[in-house]
Amino acid sequence: MAKPKQDIQQQLILDARHHDPFAYLGLHDAPKGETTKQVFRTFLPYAERVWLKTAEGWDPLTRMHANGMFEWHGDGLVRPCLLRIEANGSSHEQHDPYTFPSSLSSDEVYLFGQGRLLQAHQTMGAHLIAQHGIDGVRFAVWAPNAERVSVIGNFNQWDGRIHPMRVHGSSGIWEIFIPGLSVGELYKFEIRNRDSGHIHVKTDPYGFSFEQRPGTAAKVTSLTQHTWQDKEWIQKRSTVDWLHTPFNFYEMHLGSWKRNAQGYFLNYRELAADLIPYVKEMGYTHIELLPVSEHPLNESWGYQTTGYFGVTNRFGTPDDLRFFVDACHQADIGVILDWVPGHFPKDDWALARFDGTALYEHEDPRLGEHQEWGTYVFNYGRNEVRNFLLANAYYWMSEFHIDGLRVDAVASMLYLDYARKHGEWLPNQYGGRENLDAIEFLKQLNVMAHEDFPGALTIAEESTAWPMISRPVYLGGLGFSMKWNMGWMNDTLSYIAEDPIHRRYHHDKLTFGQLYAYSENFVLPFSHDEVVHGKRSLLDKMPGDTWQKFANLRLLLTYQMTTPGKKLNFMGNEFGQGREWNVNASLDWHLLDTHWHQGVQLV
């Protein structure tokens, strides 16, 4: 004899396998044939007794299963429902989350599926909202191949049975409003794969803040409390002719520029106080920050991103970063962020195999894995993935007033055979090696950035001769504002490293760059990549004895400044840092006590 439908649904709830818990839990019409009109159900495995607030007072619920299924039958109950729960000798009151309606609109769900929800950070993730005058947190996550998704945290003892979410049709978006939660709550998503039944515990892809490493939970936070004071800067930025304006970028890593007396990180506000006057004095127009999105390992420099929407808490809160950017703008300093849309790490608690399937990445490793870095490659052909990245770029420029993005490793995005041997990659639909989906994504990114944020910059770190990187999309280009001139950098460093007596045989390394100097809008970079991993500092690359090394470094920096193009130098280059960059230590500021380094700084 087949089990009644209600018994089957109850068992699915008990087993944490119900695909639509709102269809069973909460307040519903009573089954036909009952004397009452309503039935209320709640699953509270840690409760001993439960009461429901009605017009007459507190009605006790009947325990329907030893594991914690409670039920009430009656009339006249109005949503949302308030419960009194007794457990472990104490009691508390809470509203039932399954008696609140969805707060996601059909337009949001539709646009997300189309890849056109640019303000997805206002829809996905965790948001402090009020429903029916009751404060709480709305959670939303994309997991289309899940049988069940739950929010877990301290508020439910990290038990995935207690707060399973509703799914919005075939969109793959799961959502729930949990009343009573507030700022500071740690949370994750527990995802049961539809096919394998395996459980995957993941942090929030759209999380705004995360707990201190090595913890990996996301943290509920308000979007912002900061009051911006940079209106004049934003207006000026929208009118400046940046193509014909001198730009001098100071590239830096926040954790190793300077540290306090105890060797700890300075926070964003302390950095603003020390860094901005220094940058102004040295004549820089922009600060370019190595990635400040959340990442687990210091030694990745931020390029192994696990929290794309999260400001790394190494240096403070999201509003602390807003303060830093605001202070820069008030001092007429622009802020550029390094941004990593080309690949993401394989950490099993983050984006990788998010719902048990290749969701953000490709299933086939010939498309979905970056062999050189041991990371996954984004599937740019999937609307929701493209939306994730476009919305992330939009988020940094809208919520943090960032003046532009330097896009990391563009070459690895453009070529399907990048760092791959024959037979280790798949051609595109026309048999070529161009990644057509990535090309379309980059065009959309650049059009969005320039149209929605007038005066904002997009800068490509692109190491090949791909044509028209910094030409408008409507002319057939990729649409970037500028491109790093890696060829000029390599040729120049190779030339300057020659003993002066031999340089007359290598002048082609200086003249060759002028043959293509105006084919793109170039930035001339001496970046972090050139002073690490055994490449030595700029000073140490110079030939000769001490006097000659410093003379050659002054010559190099002067040559850079007088060559057509925007300029970029990594921190420490400007005063002749002697040793290689060490991400775990401050720059050697004591070197400025000597005339050698003071002389370099004067260039």
Of 219, 248, 270, which marks where a domain is finished? Answer: 219
Regarding whether 17 and 66 lie in a shared domain, the answer is yes
Helix, strand, or coil (residue 384): helix
Q: Which of 361, 408, 437, 462 is catalytic?
A: 408
Q: Is 434 exposed, middle or buried (0-12, 13-18, 19+ CB in 10 A)?
A: middle
Tell me: do 123 and 52 sit in the same domain: no
In this structure, are 585 and 512 located in the same domain? yes
- Per DSSP, the chain holds a count of helices (H) and strands (E) of 15, 28
Q: What contacts 146, CB < 8 A, 6 or more positions away? A: 167, 172, 174, 191, 192, 193, 194, 355, 356
Q: Is residue 298 part of a domain?
A: no
- For residue 128, pLDDT over 60 is answered with yes
- On whether both 80 and 120 belong to a single domain, the answer is no
- 89 pLDDT higher than 50: yes
Assigned domain for 545 exists: yes
Helix (H) or strand (E) holding 136: strand 134-142
Residues 172, 201 within the same domain:
yes
pLDDT at 1: 41
Task: State how far the alpha carbon of 114 is from the alpha carbons of 102, 106, 123, 172, 473, in Å.
Answer: 21, 12, 15, 13, 21
Pairing, β 173-179 against β 166-167 = antiparallel
Which of 186, 219, 252 is a domain's end point? 219
Domain boundary residue, one of 40, 71, 99: 99
How confident is the model over 435-494, as pLDDT tens digits?
999 999 999 999 999 999 999 999 999 999 999 999 999 999 999 999 999 999 999 999
Residue 293 lies in a domain: no
Residue reference for tokens 């040295």:
282
User: In 10 A of CB 410, how many CB atoms?
Assistant: 25
Given its phi and psi angles, is residue 576 left (phi above 0), alpha (psi -120 to 50 degrees) or beta? Answer: left
> What Cα–Cα distance (Å) separates residue 515 from each residue in 459, 474, 488, 518, 563?
21, 25, 11, 8, 13
Give how far Cα 346 sits from Cα of 12, 106, 187, 370, 481, Å. Answer: 32, 33, 20, 11, 31
Residue 36, number of CB atoms within 10 A of its CB: 13
* The pLDDT value given to residue 6: 75
Name every residue whose Cβ is closer than 8 Å to that of residue 61 and which is 6 or more positions away in sequence: 40, 42, 49, 50, 51, 52, 70, 71, 72
Name beta bridge partners: 29: 38
Q: Per-residue pLDDT tens for 10-40?
A: 999 999 999 999 999 999 999 888 888 999 9
Q: What pLDDT shows up at residue 264?
A: 94
pLDDT digits (tens, 9 = 90+) for 57-71: 999 999 999 999 999
- Number of Cβ within a 10 Å radius of residue 314: 18
> DSSP 3-state assignment of 84?
strand
Answer yes or no: is 463 within a domain: no
Residue 336 corresponds to which tokens in the numbers above? 């550029």
pLDDT band at 179 (very low <50, low <70, confident <90, very high): very high
Looking at residue 3, what is its pLDDT?
59
- Rounded Cα–Cα distance for residues 172 and 453 (Å): 30
Residue 198 domain flag:
yes
* 115 shares its domain with 21: no
The number of distinct structural domains making up the chain is 3
pLDDT of residue 174: 99
Residues contacting residue 479 through CB under 8 Å, at least 6 positions apart: 442, 443, 445, 446, 447, 450, 458, 471, 472, 473
Instruction: For residue 251, count CB atoms less than 10 angstroms from its CB and return exposed for 0-12, middle for 13-18, buried for 19 or more.
Output: buried
Residue entry with tokens 């031999």:
502
pLDDT in tens, 543-602: 999 999 999 999 999 999 999 999 999 999 999 999 999 999 999 999 999 999 999 999
d(CA 208, CA 206): 6
Q: Where are the alpha helices (DSSP H) in 207-298?
A: 231-239, 254-257, 268-282
237-265: average pLDDT: 96
Domain of 215, in residue numbers: 106-219
**pTM (two decimals):** 0.96
CA gap 191, 178 in Å, rounded:
18
Same structural domain for residues 84 and 111? no
**Rounded-to-integer distance, Cα 527 and Cα 568, Å:** 7
- Report the pLDDT averaged over residues 411-423: 95
DSSP strand pairing (334-339 vs 286-289): parallel
Give the pLDDT confidence score for residue 4 in this predicted structure.
65
For residue 130, being part of any structural domain is answered with yes
pLDDT, tens only, 206-233? 999 999 999 999 999 998 889 999 999 9
Angle at 556 between CA 335 and CA 457, to 5 degrees: 20
DSSP 537-557: -HHHHS-SSHHHHHHHHHHHH
- Average pLDDT over every residue of 371-390: 97
* Percent of the chain whose pLDDT exceeds 70: 99
Same domain, 584 and 492: yes
Among residues 142, 199, 183, 597, the alpha carbon closest in space to that of 387 is found at 142
d(CA 360, CA 354): 7
Question: What radius of gyration, in Å, describes the C-alpha atoms of the chain?
Answer: 28
On whether residue 81 sits in a domain, the answer given is yes
Q: Which of 24, 2, 4 is nearest to 14 (CA)?
A: 24
pLDDT recorded at residue 224:
84
Q: Is 74 helix (H, G, I), strand (E, B) or coil?
A: strand
Same-domain pairing of 113 and 196: yes
Residue tagged 């739950």 (tokens): 150
Is 387 part of a structural domain of the chain? no
The pLDDT of residue 2 is 45
pLDDT, mean over the chain: 97
Q: Do residue 43 and residue 116 come from a single domain? A: no
Q: Around 85, how many Cα atoms within 13 Å sit in the side-chain half-sphere? A: 19
Q: For 488-540, write each residue's pLDDT tens digit.
A: 999 999 999 999 999 999 999 999 999 999 999 999 999 999 999 999 999 99
Torsion of CA 22, 25, 29, 31, to 10 degrees: 120
> Which residue reads 């930025």 in tokens?
237
Q: What is the CATH number of the domain that holds 50?
A: 2.60.40.10
Q: Give me the amino acid identity at 327.
A: A
Q: Compute the distance between CA of residue 567 and CA of residue 353 in angstroms, rounded to an integer.
A: 40
Q: Does the pLDDT of residue 5 top 90, yes or no?
A: no
Rounded-to-integer distance, Cα 94 and Cα 488, Å: 64
Question: Is 461 one of the annotated active-site residues of the chain?
Answer: yes
What integer is the mean pLDDT of 39-66? 96
Catalytic residue among 185, 355, 369, 461: 461
- 129 and 83 within one domain: no
Average pLDDT of span 137-151:
99
Residues 94, 119 share a domain: no
- Token output for 57: 């007072």
